[in-house]
């Protein structure tokens, strides 16, 4: 599986099966057309309907993008108390919440919502995500202009905001038809801790009203895309866009998120040094949310138990000092992504002190150990983004339960990961890392409208649609399969 010896792959899969538009300036974003050099070829082709929808979207974005005539006209609406109907472009403004993984999955969901509702997606990347990504749409920008009038209110946006859609519904006894004049903007608060009023966004009967609001300012840290598949008025279009429901995020994330040249430098230098010549690449993400509840020793036992049970890495030979001579030794490169160094130190030591039972040569690497999640630091985010991408280059990927960081890696790579259950009870267990059903991220906190409330039937026995299941790692969550 040595991709580096096939230079023609670049030409063949440069546009990822029609997902990407040609014609971008290649130098300004080298990763856009070159990621296929390092990554496994995806067996999942986007539907031609999705490709043509994206080309149409790109036209729309170019026409409505920042500082265009249409943009300026729609901006003027913000200073009136209700919509005056002269605008020809509608927008979703995405604002950040939580870590990079959370941000990427919520942006992808927001973009899907924009596609379905004919809106233009603008993003507020602030300074801490500067230089992390390239522009996704040709000949325009997705960056919300710095002088956007409402920007200084985004930070404090939460449930109960007077200008939020939830609040509007609450004030009108949940009956949106009594609101005669749509406002020029509304906040959609869709983060994990949104309240019952915010969640009314997901009710199909409310979508028609939202169509008349030119500016929707959205804050979410969730992958809410699966729920869009449960809104009847979107279903037909979604079926055409994504005949294969498991590929939604795989396509959206590869379409939207290209590493900046600075991030691509980190990715390719790591790749060339440690991965390019390995026969097999194994990615291991160790995300420990609570270090006290999950002692290092127990997490390590769980990881080693995972390798053994799922046969992802060979055992070491406790009897011998030297592996028997062999002509064809398989070399495996294990890349560990974690905020902490201890898992790497120990696993590296396991494979340094003893030979493997079958003579395989195991290299163990960790790009960084940042110790703590940082906010407001773009270099920290560039490293995190580089590591997500490095994990996505794996042949075999082990992610950590509940981690959106891992979700993004699996989506980019088109990989069905083994999900490492990071134990919190002081003990490893005998199901350390079951295989995921699909490569889709989990929507951790969906509204539960789809559940039959009289019986409160559990999602693991009844699913609201054939392609929606309870997540493996979050019993409250749903995912596409
Ligand atoms: P989640 O919290 O695991 O769902 O993922 P997020 O990406 O939303 O938030 C975690 C943040 O912590 C990341 O964005 C990084 O800033 C940092 N982080 C967590 N794990 C790692 C890691 O393995 N490597 C690096 N470089 N940063 C990490």
Q: Quick one: 382 and 464 in the same domain? A: yes
Residue finishing a domain among 256, 284, 316 = 256
Q: State the pLDDT at residue 129.
A: 95
Q: State the pLDDT at residue 10.
A: 43
Ligand 1: distance of its center to the CA of 231 in Å?
31
Q: Quick one: 156 and 17 in the same domain? A: yes
Residue finishing a domain among 237, 256, 275 = 256
Give the number of the atom of ligand 1 that is nearest the alpha carbon of residue 101.
7
Q: Quick one: 221 and 276 in the same domain? A: no
pLDDT in tens, the chain (481 residues): 444 444 444 445 889 999 999 999 999 999 999 998 899 899 999 999 999 999 999 999 999 999 999 999 999 999 887 787 777 899 999 999 999 999 999 999 999 999 999 999 999 998 899 999 999 999 999 999 999 999 988 888 899 898 999 999 999 988 888 888 899 999 999 999 999 999 999 999 889 999 999 999 999 999 999 999 999 999 999 999 999 999 999 999 999 999 999 999 999 999 999 999 999 999 999 999 999 999 999 999 999 999 999 999 999 999 999 988 888 899 999 999 999 999 999 999 999 999 999 999 999 999 999 999 888 889 999 999 999 999 999 999 999 999 999 999 999 999 999 999 999 988 889 999 999 999 999 999 999 876 655 434 555 556 778 899 999 999 999 999 9
Q: Is 338 in the pocket of ligand 1 (CB under 6 A)?
A: yes
Q: What is the pLDDT of residues 264-308, one digit of tens each?
A: 999 999 999 999 999 999 999 999 999 999 999 999 999 999 999
**Do 399 and 420 contact (CB within 8 A), yes or no?**
yes
Q: State the pLDDT at residue 176.
A: 84
What is the C-alpha separation between 258 and 32, in angstroms, rounded?
6
Q: Quick one: 294 and 185 in the same domain? A: no
**CATH number for the domain including 396?**
3.40.50
Q: State the pLDDT at residue 465.
A: 85
* Paired strand residues for 186: 216
Tell me whether residue 6 is in a domain.
Answer: no
Q: State the pLDDT at residue 455.
A: 39
- Please name the residues in contact with 55: beta carbons below 8 A apart, sequence gap of 6 or more: 21
Q: How many domains does the chain have?
A: 2
> Two tokens at 470?
């309870």
Give the number of the atom of ligand 1 that is nearest the alpha carbon of residue 285.
23
Q: State the pLDDT at residue 177.
A: 82
Q: State the pLDDT at residue 37.
A: 87
User: Which residues in 446-458 are b (16+ Cβ under 10 Å) and which e?
Assistant: bbeebeeeeeeee
Tell me whether residue 272 is in a domain.
Answer: yes
Q: Is 106 in the pocket of ligand 1 (CB under 6 A)?
A: no
Residue of 30, 20, 441 whose CA lies nearest to 262: 30
Q: Quick one: 199 and 290 in the same domain? A: no
- Please name the residues in contact with 47: beta carbons below 8 A apart, sequence gap of 6 or more: 240, 241, 242, 243
Q: Quick one: 242 and 389 in the same domain? A: no
Q: State the pLDDT at residue 2.
A: 44
What is the C-alpha separation between 374 and 319, in angstroms, rounded?
44
Ligand 1: distance of its center to the CA of 101 in Å?
7
For tokens 């801790």, the residue is: 193
Q: Is 380 in the pocket of ligand 1 (CB under 6 A)?
A: yes
Range of the domain at 238: 13-256
Tell me whether residue 89 is in a domain.
Answer: yes
Q: State the pLDDT at residue 7.
A: 45
- ipTM of model over 0.90: yes
Q: Is 401 in the pocket of ligand 1 (CB under 6 A)?
A: no
């Amino acid at each position: 599986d040595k991709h580096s010896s096939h230079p023609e792959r670049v030409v063949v899969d440069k546009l990822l099966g029609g997902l990407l538009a040609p014609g971008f300036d290649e130098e300004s974003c080298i990763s856009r057309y070159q990621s296929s050099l390092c990554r496994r070829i995806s067996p999942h082709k986007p539907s031609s309907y999705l490709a043509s929808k994206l080309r149409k979207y790109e036209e729309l974005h170019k026409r409505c993008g920042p500082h265009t005539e249409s943009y300026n006209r729609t901006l003027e609406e913000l200073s009136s108390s209700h919509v005056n109907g002269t605008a020809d472009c509608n927008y979703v403004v995405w604002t950040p919440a939580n870590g990079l993984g959370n941000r990427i999955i919520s942006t992808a969901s927001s973009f899907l919502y924009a596609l379905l509702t004919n809106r233009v997606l603008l993003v507020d990347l602030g300074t801490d995500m500067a230089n992390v990504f390239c522009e996704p749409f040709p000949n325009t920008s997705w960056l919300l202009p710095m002088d956007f009038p409402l920007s200084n209110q985004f930070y404090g946006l939460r449930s109960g905001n007077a200008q939020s859609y939830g609040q509007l519904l609450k004030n009108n006894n949940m009956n949106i038809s009594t609101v005669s004049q749509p406002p020029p903007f509304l906040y959609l608060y869709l983060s994990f801790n949104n309240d019952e009023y915010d969640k009314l966004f997901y009710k199909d009967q409310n979508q028609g009203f939202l169509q008349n609001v030119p500016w929707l300012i959205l804050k979410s840290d969730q992958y809410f895309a699966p729920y869009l598949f449960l809104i009847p008025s979107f279903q037909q279009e979604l079926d055409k866009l994504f005949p294969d429901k498991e590929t939604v995020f795989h396509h959206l994330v590869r379409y939207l998120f290209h590493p900046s040249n600075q991030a691509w430098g980190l990715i390719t230098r790591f790749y060339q040094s440690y991965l390019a010549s390995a026969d097999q690449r194994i990615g291991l993400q160790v995300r420990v949310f609570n270090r006290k509840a999950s002692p290092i020793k127990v997490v390590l036992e769980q990881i080693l138990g995972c390798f053994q049970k799922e046969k992802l890495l060979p055992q070491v030979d406790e009897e011998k000092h030297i592996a028997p001579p062999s002509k064809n030794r398989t070399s495996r490169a294990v890349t560990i992504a974690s905020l902490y160094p201890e898992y790497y130190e120990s696993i590296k030591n396991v494979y340094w002190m003893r030979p493997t039972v079958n003579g395989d040569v195991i290299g163990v690497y960790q790009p960084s150990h940042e110790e703590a999640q940082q906010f407001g630091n773009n270099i920290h985010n560039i490293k995190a983004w580089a590591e997500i991408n490095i994990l996505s280059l794996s042949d075999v990927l082990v992610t950590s339960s509940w981690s959106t960081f891992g979700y993004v890696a699996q989506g980019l790579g088109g990989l069905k990961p083994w999900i490492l259950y990071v134990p919190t009870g002081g003990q490893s267990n005998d199901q350390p890392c079951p295989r995921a059903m699909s490569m889709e991220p989990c929507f951790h906190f969906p509204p539960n409208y789809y559940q039959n409330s009289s019986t409160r039937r559990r999602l693991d026995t009844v699913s609201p649609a054939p392609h929606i299941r309870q997540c493996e790692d979050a019993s409250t969550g749903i995912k596409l399969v």
